[in-house]
A and B are shown apart, each in its own frame.
Chain A
Amino acid sequence: MAGEAVSIKDLSRALQTDEKVIRETIHALRDEYDFEQRGFMLKRFGDNIQLATRPLYAGDVIRLLQPVQQQSLSQAAMETLAVVAYKQPVTRAEVEQIRGVKCDYSLQSLITKGLIRETGRKDTIGRPILFGTTDEFLSHFGLEGLDSLPPMPQEAESNKDTISDDDTELIP
């Protein structure tokens, strides 16, 4: 009924059922919808579930609804977002180090779009703000969770690296 995404917690409360049971049911429903290639499917991102159309039928949906075209992110925004996504939690200075440019505008823009958010402060001098991605980020990219992020291209072996320690956090 909701239309928008519903969190598993809310579902559990509304249906007065255990979260574990909810998850299992969702799993079963998804399998059924997928098996029958139904027009709709259950989209999951983070701990949220939403009813959505199946990409298979995207052409039909577009013809029917002519929905508002979604804007894609710019190159700079995408790069900034990639850094935050793969290295979160990360400070603005760290992002700027990697990209080699100042990132105030990109970061602010991503915050406004709801794709990243402040997740706390780093325990170093100046206590800089840390950034991380949001559930909306997952939704926008069709990811179920952060582990669904595509792996980064491998580094060349010759690099002895400070970076490799951080990398192993997210690369499966």
Chain B
Amino acid sequence: MNPVVKLDRVTVRYGRQQALRDVTASFPSGAVGLLGPNGAGKSTMLRSLLGFIVPEQGEMRVLDRDVKHSALAIRSRIGYMPESDAHIPGMNAVSFVAYCGSLSGLPHADAMQRAHEVLYYVGLGEARYRNVETYSTGMKQRIKLAQALVHDPDLLFLDEPTNGMDPKGRDEMLELIRDIAHNKGLSLILSSHLLPDVEYTCDYVVVMDKGTVATEGPIATLKGQGGRVFELRVKGDAAAFVQVLHAEGLECHETEEDTMRVFVPGDGLANGDDARRLFHLASSHGMQVRHLRASVPTLEDVFARAVGEK
């Protein structure tokens, strides 16, 4: 199957700062997470794909069309939910969403009908006649999703869609995104720095770091990529021990409460052998092991490995 988005050696520069460095990536259809810390270049990539920013070099294709030459045709099939608070001033929700539908080429009556439908879908049905400026942060996130959906795009770009939402609202938003991608037949690219959001909604991930693609692939494959993960807590000079683990070729990153997650590459050894190896390393360097448990690989491990490797 053709990828919905393809970047080939794309470089974007803001003045002297390179926001994307020679990026080559493919986004298959379905739900794809664009993961990375703040400043990794995720939003820049989405904005470049929309034609807001012209890359210094490279080619980009969206839905089999060249962004440079077919920006309008592409945008008619794309829905974009921007990261920052954005709306058309002076309008109530239904007028705003219908207006966005009309801008996307829907006849006025159809745009109005779709506006009502999508506002119910995103959970704003009861508040649809309220001025958007009076909405809470969570409601503003939902209406941004509604305006991106109104013209029934084939591909959605969602830039940090759960920003500023309370836990309940966040869960509902993630549920919506998951539903869109898995039950409604739309493809989406979810840009986020929140690993659980991406892990819950997406099947494929592109991890970015410092303007480059650190890794990409199906989440299930990346999580199960040759190796095991252990939760480890030690007493002693943890920082020095991390250096020891690195020297032994073991990836390691710290989580909350002084617990570190150690990635043991390769599949030659059984769980017990890996554990014994960690015990041995600890004892030979005077460290006391307080907690050691085999763990399930998570997207966090994938992310830490990918970003750590850079």
Partners in one complex: no
**Which B residues fall within an 8 A CB radius of A?**
none
